[in-house]
Amino acid sequence: MLMTFITITLNVFMKTKRKNTVWSKEDCILLEELYIIQKLPVAEIATIFNTNKDAIWRKTESLGLARKVKYGVDHFYFSKMDTISKWYVLGMLSADGFLDSKNNRVGINLQIRDIAVLEFIKKELKFQGNILIKKASIVKGTGNLSQEQAYMKFTSSQITRDLIALGVTDRKSLTLEFPNIPDKFISSYLLGYFDGDGCLSGRTFTLLGTEDVCENFERKIRQLAKVDKVKIYKRNKQKNTIYALTYSKKDTILKLYDFLYREASFYMERKYLKFTELVGDIHFRNTTIVRYDHKEIYKLFSEQNLSRKEIMAKQGVSKAQLSVILKKQGLQKSTSEQSTKSIEDFYTYNNQCV
């Protein structure tokens, strides 16, 4: 009987233009059926009722209609930004995440080789779903082969509201705003953003973003990392302009490296190794070279299994120089080993942060 009523009513709605916003009892019954039972997309329900998605969201909320969340997540993760991990994750989402505020959907996708970052974010957010893989495919119109991607997505109205309050928007590449960040967390947010939307090309460090983001990063980096003021450039002159913040002076690169990684225990390994190699190259080419006992370093690392920090203290070698020495001998730890250790070290440090 109920299904017959719903079918008839649905047919009427599909053929009749909705002229007002008054919801009858029959409307509410139909809305509950479509939203809770059939789980139709909100956009489709809005079309059926000849209204917009906002009206549907408001009505479902007023009726107390809530769909069961498929996978759990820490909905209040961004409600109190009090740890370096939260600012790192926010930086990553600001750069490489996506937000659908109308449907309260949040997600992030990265290249498959950077999946360790997604695993870290999943653990931080207490997300109970899976990290999904999108296989490489031919891009329509170009014939090029896309890279294999790893991604995760979830629904949370609370996280959506918090992200918007922190400057993240639906079209963030054009409208992202720089959040209000305590100075002690700037390097963590910058590192997350750099891991997502920054690059190293040759000896040039570049961040891409909106004018507001680039200007605020430039100001904060100048103040906290003690580097010279640089000009922000427009990446293109099209209607949708992206801005670029670029550093290339040797002493600035060294200061940026120290600023980003001084207290960081989690980072995108690929970019960290590239940056470390660059800094090591600058040191070796432009400073008096200290002849370290390479054999002793190899022994400490491979035979005695000392940590990098212990070797640095024992041999008086810098982090950058140690990485270059080990890499030349093929003694860098594997990706999985470094990523796992990074996550464990990060939590040890982060638990001390209030």
DSSP of 178-197, one letter per residue? -----GGGHHHHHHHHHHHH
Query: Cα 214–220–225 angle (5° rounding)?
Result: 120
User: Strands 105-111 and 97-100, how do they pair?
Assistant: antiparallel
Residue 336: the pLDDT is 40
Q: d(Cα 29, Cα 159) in Å, to the nearest integer? A: 29
* 245-255 residues labelled b (16+ CB within 10 A) or e (exposed): bbbeeeebbbb
202-225 pLDDT, tens per residue?
889 999 999 999 999 999 999 999
- Using alpha carbons, select from 271, 213, 278 the residue that is nearest to residue 252: 278
Residue 25 has pLDDT above 60, yes or no: yes
DSSP 203-237: TEEEEEE-HHHHHHHHHHHHHHS------EEES--
Q: How far apart are alpha carbons 26 and 207 in whole angstroms?
A: 54
Task: Express each pLDDT in 169-193 by its tens digit.
Answer: 887 778 899 999 999 999 999 999 9
Closest CA to 354 of 79, 83, 78, 80: 83
pLDDT of residue 173: 76
Choose between 156 and 4: higher pLDDT. Answer: 156
Residues of CATH 3.10.28.10 domain(s) within the chain?
84-247
Q: What is the pLDDT of residues 104-149, one digit of tens each?
A: 889 999 999 999 999 999 999 999 988 988 887 776 777 777 788 8
Contacts of 121 (CB under 8 A, 6+ apart): 89, 92, 108, 127, 152
Question: Can you read off the two tokens belonging to residue 184?
Answer: 């002690």
User: Contact at 8 Å (CB) between 207 and 244?
Assistant: yes
Taking the domain 84-247, which CATH number applies? 3.10.28.10
What pLDDT is recorded for position 21? 63
Instruction: Say which residue, 332 or 303, is predicted with more confidence.
Output: 303
